[in-house]
A and B are shown apart, each in its own frame.
Chain A
Amino acid sequence: MTSNALALPAPGAGALRRHPLVERYAPILTIVLALIAIWYVAALLMNLSLVRDGFEREEAPYTVSDLIEGTMSAERPLLPAPHQVIAAFADSVFGYAPTAPRSLVYHSAVTLSATLLGFALGALLGIALALMIVHSRVLEKSLLPWIICSQMVPILALAPIFVVVLGAMGLQGLLPKSIISAYLCFFPITIGMVKGFTAPDPMQLDLMRTWSATSRQVLAKLRWPSAVPYLFASLKVAISISLIGAIVAELPTGGEAGIGARLLAGSYYGQTIQIWSALLAAAILASGLIAVVDLAEKIVGLRMGARP
C-alpha cells in the first residue's frame, strides 16, 4: 500500500487522504491486509503442534524461529500460509501447458464449460417457467410449490442420483454436470423473472389495452423490457450458483477433471495446498463470471436509456 501511495501525485498527507484513488481502494486494501495478517497468525497457531511433533519425532534440536519457519513452509499443513497457496496456484497455472492434467487452467476450463452450459440451460428453464407462471394462475398454483420444493432437497444428495440415472441413459461428461448446475441456478431466475414480468405499471398495461395490443405484443414490448433489471439481478445470483453446482457435480462423477475433482483429489491425499489453490481458482472464476454479467448489464442498461 505504501508504494501505491507514493506513486500518487499529491504530496501532502491531507491531500493524499482525500485522493479519489485512495478513497476508493484504501478501505478494500485495509480489509485485505487485515485478513492476510489474521490468516498468517491462524496458520502459525494451527500448524504449530504439527511442526513441533515433527521435530520431536526426529529428536532434532529446534528453536522458536525453526518452529515458525516450519509452520510457514510445511508440506501438508492444516492451514497453508497465503504465500504457499499463491505459489502453488501460480505454479499450477503457469507451470504447465494449459492442456496438461496438472494445470489449473485445464481444470478451470472443464468446470467453466459445465458452468456456462448449465447457466444457459438454467436461464432458459428459469425464464420459461416464469413465463408459464405469469401466463396462468393455474400453472402458478401447480408449478410454484414444486419449484420451491426442488430447492429444498440438498444437491449433494441429488447429484449422485442424477449422475447414475443420466449415466444409465448414456449421458456422460459435460451434460450431467450441466444439468445439475442448471437444476440449482434456474430457481433465482424464475423467482426474479416472475417479479419482473409482473413489474409493469398498471397504467402502462392499460395503455397497451387501449391500443388493443395482443398478449404477445404486451410481452415483447412491455413485460419483457420491464423485466430486464430483474433478469440481471437474478443472473448475477444464478451464475455463481451454477459454478457451485458444476463443482458439486464433479465430486460424485469420479472426478477425472475439473475444480471439483481437484478438491476431491486434494482431500484424498491430504494435499491442503492443492485444495486451497483450487478454491482460489474457483473464487477467481466466480468473480470473473459476475464481472461479465455486470458488464452485460451496463451495456444493456445504456442501450435502454438508464441514467449514467
Chain B
Amino acid sequence: MTLQLPKSLKPNDPGVTLRGDGRESFAARNQPVHMSNEAAAAVESVSTPRRLAVDVRNVSLTFETSDGKVDALANVSLEIAEGEFVSFIGPSGCGKTTMLRLIADLQQPTSGTLLVNGMSAEQARLARRYGYVFQAPALFPWRTIEKNLKLPLEVMGFSDSEQNSRAARYLALVNLTGFERKFPWQLSGGMQQRVSIARALSFDPALLLMDEPFGALDEIVRDHLNEQLLQLWDKTGKTVLFVTHSIPEAVFLSTKIVVMSPRPGRIIDVIDCDFARDRTLEIRETPEFLKIAQRVRTGLRAGHSYDE
C-alpha cells in the first residue's frame, strides 16, 4: 500500500523519513495514525519534530455517574498528520464524540496529554485553530444565513469588508450563493448543514472537526454532501476529523479509519485507505472498497464480542 501524502508534508519532512530498523519503518509506514503500544513507543523514539495536526498520548477520561465510574476513553493514543482525513467509527458510547470534544477542549481528559498543532488543546482553542461542525447545524435562528456565517468572524474581530468577502466566498464554496438574506428555517436540513460547514471554514482553521455532520440527513443528500466535502478537503488541504456511524461513509471519505469500541472507549484498529483524493462515489463498487469495508466491519464486530 502506498501512503497518500498530504500536500502539506514536504519531501524532507521527518514524518516520512524512515530510519534503519524494521520496527521504526513499520511505525513510519503506518504514519501518521497509530494505536498500538509498540507503534507509540516507536513514535517516541523518533526525536525529530513532525508536523502533527493532532497528537493524543495515553489519554483517559472517566466520568463519575450515580452508578459508579464510566471509562469514556481508556488509555488512547493516536497521531494524525496534517492534511489527513480521519474517520472515527464505532458503536454508541465508544468515545468517538468524546475524542473530538477533547481535541476541541470542550472537555478535558482525566489523564494523558493531548496536543493540537503542537500546542495544548486549550491553547489551540484560544488560538482558533479548528472549526467544529456538530450533529445539528446549530444555526442561530434570528440571524440570516449571511449573518450566521459572519458570526465567528464577528467574534474574532474581522473587519467588515473582510467579513463580507469571506461570507460571499464561503457561501459560494458550499453552493449557497443567493441565500444570504434567508433565515435558517427557510432552508432544508442539508442546506443548513452546508451553512454550518461554511461557518466552520470561514475563519480558515487548519483543522476541521466534524461530529456526525450528516447523521440526520437522508441517503441521497448524504452522498451528495460527502462528495462535496471530499472536493472541499481536496481543494483546501485541511486536516479533517470525522465521526460517523456509517461504514461506507467512513471508507469513502477517509485516508485513515479509526475503529473504536465501547466500555471502556478505546481504539481497536486503524485502517489505511489509499483511494485517490479526487475519488468519486463509483469507487464504492470496487473490490478494494469492499475489502476495507469488510475489515472495518470485522473490527467493529470484534470490539462488540469483546464486550460480551
Contacts and interface: CB of A to CB of B under 8 A. Distances in A.
B140 A222 contact: yes
A57 interface: no
B221 interface: no
Contact of A307 (B104, B140, B143, B185): B185
Given A206-B106, A221-B151, A211 B156 contact: yes
B138 A209 contact: no
A304 B125 contact: no
Given A211-B152, A221-B154, A206 B142 contact: no
B128 A212 contact: yes
Nearest to B147: A305
A206 B132 contact: yes
Interface residues of B, number: 27
Interface of B: 104-106, 125-126, 128, 130-132, 134-136, 138, 140-144, 151-152, 154-156, 183-185, 203
B199 to A, nearest CB: 8
Contact of B132 (A207, A213, A222, A225): A207
B102 to A, nearest CB: 13
25 contacts: A201-B138, A203-B134, A203-B138, A204-B138, A204-B140, A206-B106, A206-B134, A207-B134, A207-B138, A208-B155, A209-B106, A210-B125, A210-B130, A210-B131, A211-B128, A211-B151, A211-B152, A211-B203, A221-B151, A221-B154, A221-B155, A228-B142, A305-B144, A305-B185, A307-B185
Interface in A273-308: 304-305, 307
A190 B303 CA distance: 51
A203 B142 contact: no
A217 interface: yes
B151 A305 contact: no
Given A207-B138, A221-B151, 8 more contacts: A210-B130, A210-B132, A211-B155, A211-B203, A212-B128, A221-B140, A225-B140, A304-B141
Contacts of A222: 140
Contacts of B203: 211
Interface in A205-257: 206-213, 217, 221-222, 225, 228
Contacts of A304: 141-142
A201 B196 CA distance: 15
Nearest to A206: B106
Nearest first, the 6 closest Cβ-Cβ pairs linking A and B are: A305-B183, A304-B142, A203-B138, A210-B132, A213-B155, A211-B152
B164 to A, nearest CB: 18
A209 B138 CA distance: 13
Interface string A21-63: 0000000000000000000000000000000000000000000
Contacts of B184: 305
Interface string A84-118: 00000000000000000000000000000000000
Contacts of B142: 225, 228, 304-305
A308 to B, nearest CB: 11
Contacts of A208: 155
Contact of B125 (A201, A203, A212): A212
Contacts of B141: 304-305
A101 B291 CA distance: 94
B285 to A, nearest CB: 36
Contacts of A217: 155
A206 B151 CA distance: 14
Instruction: Report which residue of A207, A217, A221 has the largest number of chain B beta carbons within 10 angstroms of its beta carbon.
Output: A207
A78 to B, nearest CB: 54
A209 B144 CA distance: 21
Nearest to A300: B142
A85 B203 CA distance: 67
Contacts of B130: 210
B156 to A, nearest CB: 6
A189 B140 CA distance: 24
A126 B227 CA distance: 51
B143 A209 contact: no
Contacts of A204: 138, 140
Contacts of B134: 203, 206-207
A29 to B, nearest CB: 36
Contacts of A206: 106, 132, 134
A261 B155 CA distance: 53
A217 B143 CA distance: 15
B89 to A, nearest CB: 22
Nearest to A229: B142
